[in-house]
Structure 1
Amino acid sequence: MVFRLPTLAAPAAPEQVAESASPPPYGRRTLRLATCLAASLALVLPGLVAADPAHASAKRVRLGSSADVTRPMWSGPAHTMNGSGAVVPATMAKAVDAIRGGTGTLDVVVIAGSAPTSGSATPECDTITGVAGVNSCTTWTLTSRADGNNSAANTDIRNAEFVYFAGGDQCDYADWKGTALQNSVKSVVAKGGGSGGGSAGHHINSAIVYDACDGSVTSDEALYDPYDPAITFTTGMFTWPNYANTINDSHFVTRDRMGRTMAFVARAIEDGLTTGGAAWGVGVEEGGSLFIDKNGAATVAGADTFVVLGDHRPERADPDRYLTYYDYKIWRLRPGQTYDFKNRPTCGYYLRSIVTGVADSNLYNGIPVTNCG
């Protein structure tokens, strides 16, 4: 007789889950616990428990030159932060040009937590190899925490000048904290290269990562309870120059995520996850992208970006209680406009509040304050 654990259907990745009215009844940590339990039972009860299928091995596909560029100095860092998973050629071209200093070529690595279900196996590299100044683009599909220590993948990353995290599931990316991959990506930025990503890849590049490991949360749910179990953070993954105290969010207007970003900002301050008692939410709309240069100057392309500043502790942020927070400062940045993350603006914002879980109207538009004192 063979005994099997009940099968749990994996929840959709955050991009799909967010479209649901309510989060799944269990999160990825629950699934991982079930997997561990199954493995443990297999050890103590050999032959009685059907083993889960193993993760697929890491996969590598390289486009362009087979040889890496060698060069003593690079001119970055530079970053791209995209509101949806696809590469935005305009900001990718700016990042490539900034890192290579306008001369020569460089190598790019794309990191994906899963393979595309249809179409090209290398959609990001298909776009990136069309950008002037790119010598090669290598896609690594890494599907487990152990893959974060894959020696061949880490060699490619360290030899690259730009690392792009594809869309997918930021919980999978956060799981690589503490692996060799984390330090490999840091080394790319430290040598004057860059990093970026779209959707989940956008999330993982902020200083405080909304990791969605216990399911996605809607704006209404987050404002009802800023300590909703689905609101979980990973800190200490990456802290890029000039980008401290940030929390990225994606698909921003299309999926009405202003409210939840406000809750993330309040939580980060209340829980002491930031320095100086302030936090900045960075919400990028679908099709939009931020290019951030080595001096912290960010330029918007494609669609709007919103910067949401909380500069004081919430008036109320408690478990199972409605959020109250007065006077978030919000900058709406349209394509072509800039925001200085090194010398962060003190003017040009509009004000919005949350009172007992209810947001002011018209969260995405406002008349900018100009007499800021």
Structure 2
Amino acid sequence: MPRHSATAATVALLSLTGMLVSTAPAQAAADRIRLGSASDAHRAAWSGPAFTMNGAGSVVAASMTRAVDTIRGGSGSLDVVVLAGSAPSSGSTTPECDAVMKLAGINSCTTWTLTRAADGNNTRVNTDIRNAEFVYFAGGDQCRYVRWKGTALEASVESVVAKGGGAGGGSAGHHVSSPVVYDACGGSATSADALADPYDRALTFTTGMFDWPHYAGVVNDSHFRDRDRMGRTMTFVARAVKDGLTPGGRAWGVGVNEGGSLFIDSRGLATQYGADAYVVLGDHQPERALAGKPLTFTDYKIWRLAPGTTFDFADRPACGYYRRSVIDGVPDADLYNGTPESCATSGS
């Protein structure tokens, strides 16, 4: 065969091989990037737990600083692990750790990108988590995160909190931090979708993953007012009550705006940072929550938490809320503002 013909045949074969390889499903291996010290901090005791619940994926410096200072007791340094279900689409490959490393009291920050449910049992991943003092779940897709339920990763994160460390996250990481997780495994629901049909296929939940102290009965929501998610949080709450996902016949939605972060200390006292958050209580059965029918639920009790406001999850308040209802899928006007009822006039 002439040389040029052989070369052409080889190129064609290589091109075909490349096409065959590219069509095969790929599963990336767990990826680790560590910033800061190569050695972990060691100390006999830590002073947490502490939690941060962020409305967007980014670290909020003020609340994270408070969490770090609380856990280290104001002295020494600690290690942070960031868990992500996918790599960032652009920019830095370690955006959360880039922000964390600017804070005082940080020994190291390690980003693990885990793309498979089986990565939750990766020995090196779990060693890093157990040696850390704070675990931050990045933004992304919480459906990936709930697939780690029942893996070693779940127990490793719980061990960090148990030793006086902390946990939290933003966006998807905020969702997975509540005991009832809106997992979005059926797709992302809008408020309009949820109110029109509280059993829409996109409204799926995972329970029994993380249950942090004083945070029982909660379902988190993110990008809250920015994406007009009050309606869907109201539906989450109604579903949690109707389906018995929370104890005592009541459920609490916690929605945080982008740029906001809810810091929660070991006593259950929460302080809001950066931007507003909302606590939405449903304390009775919905008047109507049926598949294919618009939601009816009267008298939600809503607390608006401006930056600097506190909310006691250990001893939840019986006043300071305003009320809103949903009738036949149509919510009251002005869902995000209201005149709080005083303790003297509010009901139980």
Normalising to structure 1: TM-score of the pair?
A: 0.86
2:338 is paired with a residue of what secondary structure?
coil
1:161 aligns with 2:126: no
In the TM superposition, what is the alpha-carbon distance from 1:103 to its structure 2 partner? 1.2
- The answer as to 2:293 corresponding to 1:333 is no
Unaligned runs of 5+ in 1: 1-47
Structure 2 runs not aligned, ≥5 long: 1-19
Between structure 1 and structure 2, the one with the greater Rg is 2
Q: Deviations over 1:153-190 (max 9, x none)?
A: 00000000000000000000001111110111011011
Q: Which runs of 4+ in 1 moved over 4 A?
A: 48-51
Separation (CA, whole Å) in 1 of partners of 2:230 and 2:223 = 10
Aligned match of 2:143: 171
Residue 249 (str. 1) matches residue 208 (str. 2): no
Q: Deviations over 1:183-221 (max 9, x none)?
A: 110110111100010000000000100000010111011
Q: CA deviation at 1:49?
A: 12
Q: Is residue 2:346 matched to residue 1:372?
A: yes
Counterpart Cα distance in 1 of 2:332 and 2:98:
43
Q: 1:46-65 alignment to 2 at 5 Å?
A: 52-65=24-37
| Deviation (angstroms), 1:50 | 9.3
- Of 183, 199, 204, the match for 2:176: 204
1:174 maps to amino acid: V
Shift in Å, 1:304:
0.4
- Deviation at residue 342 of structure 1 after TM alignment: 0.5
What's 2:46 paired with? 74
Q: How many residues align?
A: 326
State the partner residue of 2:326. Answer: 354
Pairwise CA distance, 1:52: 3.6
Distance 1:138 1:347 in 2: 42
Report the residue type matching 2:317 in the other structure.
P
Counterpart AA for 2:255 = G
1:137-168 deviation digits (Å, cap 9, x = unpaired): 00000000011111000000000000000000
- Give the aligned partner of residue 69 of structure 2: 97
1:127 aligns with 2:99: yes
Q: Report the Cα distance in structure 1 between the residues aligned to 2:187 and 2:134, rounded to whole angstroms.
A: 30
Distance 2:221 2:249 in 1: 20
Using the TM superposition, give the Cα deviation of residue 54 of structure 1 relative to its aligned residue in structure 2, in angstroms: 2.6
1:85 is aligned, of 52, 57, 68, to 57
* Paired position in structure 1 for 2:85: 113
SS in 1 for 2:299: strand
Query: In the TM superposition, what are the counterparts of 1:273-288 in structure 2 within 5 Å?
Result: 273-288=245-260
Deviations 1:34-84 (A, max 9, x none): xxxxxxxxxxxxxx9997423100010100111101111111100000000
Structure 2: which amino acid aligns with 1:351?
Answer: R
Q: Secondary structure at the match of 2:225?
A: coil
SS of match in other structure, 1:254: helix
Partner of residue 188 from structure 2, selected from 187, 203, 216? 216
Deviations 1:237-282 (A, max 9, x none): 1000000110000000010000000000000000000101110000
Is 1:183 matched up with 2:138? no
Determine the structure 1 residue equivalent to 2:285: 313
* SS of alignment partner, residue 93 of structure 2: coil
Q: Which residue of 2 aligns with 1:150?
A: 122
Shift of 1:372: 2.1
What SS does structure 1 have at the residue aligned with 2:74?
coil
Code of the residue aligned with 2:213 in structure 1: it is: P
- Distance in 1, Cα, partners of 2:227 & 2:341: 27
Q: Secondary structure at the match of 1:152?
A: helix
Q: TM-score, normalised by structure 2?
A: 0.92
* Counterpart pick for 2:167 among 170, 195, 203: 195
